[in-house]
Structure 1
Amino acid sequence: MSAPPKSWTPTPPERGSFPLDHDGECTAAMKKYLKCMKLVKNDNSHNCRLLAKDYLECRMNNQLMDRAPWNELGLPENDEKK
């Protein structure tokens, strides 16, 4: 094994880091989303996208991530719940 080159410098993620949900404020929304993804075998389901949107909204409302437009997060702006 060799060490990384001395000139190597790590780069931060594109969107930066964000705090973990230590207080569990968005745990329920996260669990609903993960359960949906398991049920649809990780398919890009409309219902799961709505749950992902709920989860991200919770994170934004609780200052666990910066607010961003939905289209930048890969979600439609006006996706009504069915």
Structure 2
Amino acid sequence: MSANPGNKLSSWNPTPPQRGAFPLDHFGDCTEPMKKYMECLKLVKNDNAPNCRQLAKKYLDCRMNNELMDRVPWEDLGFNDEPKRKDAPVKQDAGTKEN
């Protein structure tokens, strides 16, 4: 009897992650933000609550600052719904001119 079903010898080719490596936090640099985020998810039963999103952003920011992941624009990580600041400059359309 063979341990390989169908008696075929085929190799499995793993696919790399879409955004490259996501190294483990061996030194615990981002343990606290991660724990707070996980506790929040547990409290809201894995709902996408705004307060948990802020904790997720802090956790990802910690990972980026400690070079545990590549720096990625927040929009690419799904944080494009952040409220605009009142003092932020307003973008002009290409067809309009300032006087």
TM-score by length of 1: 0.84
Q: Which shifted more, 60-69 or 71-80?
A: 71-80
User: 1:49: which partner in 2?
Assistant: 53
Deviation of 1:78 (Å): 4.1
Unaligned runs of at least 5 residues, structure 2:
85-99
CA offsets 1:14-68 (integer angstroms, 9 cap, x no match): 1111211000000000000000000000001000000000000000000000000
**Is the alpha carbon distance of 1:50 and 1:42 closer, same or farther for their aligned partners in structure 2, counting shifts above 3 Å?**
same
Identity %: 61
User: 1:37: which partner in 2?
Assistant: 41
User: 2:79: which partner in 1?
Assistant: 75
Q: What pairs with 1:52-67 in structure 2 (closer than 5 Å)? A: 52-67=56-71
Q: Which has the larger radius of gyration?
A: 2
Aligned length: 79
For 1:5, the aligned partner's letter is: S
For 2:30, the aligned partner's letter is: C
**Is the alpha carbon distance of 1:29 and 1:4 closer, same or farther for their aligned partners in structure 2, counting shifts above 3 Å?**
farther
- Alpha-carbon RMSD across the aligned residues, in angstroms, is 2.0
Tell whether 2:28 aligns with 1:24: yes
Runs of 4+ with >3 A deviation = 77-80
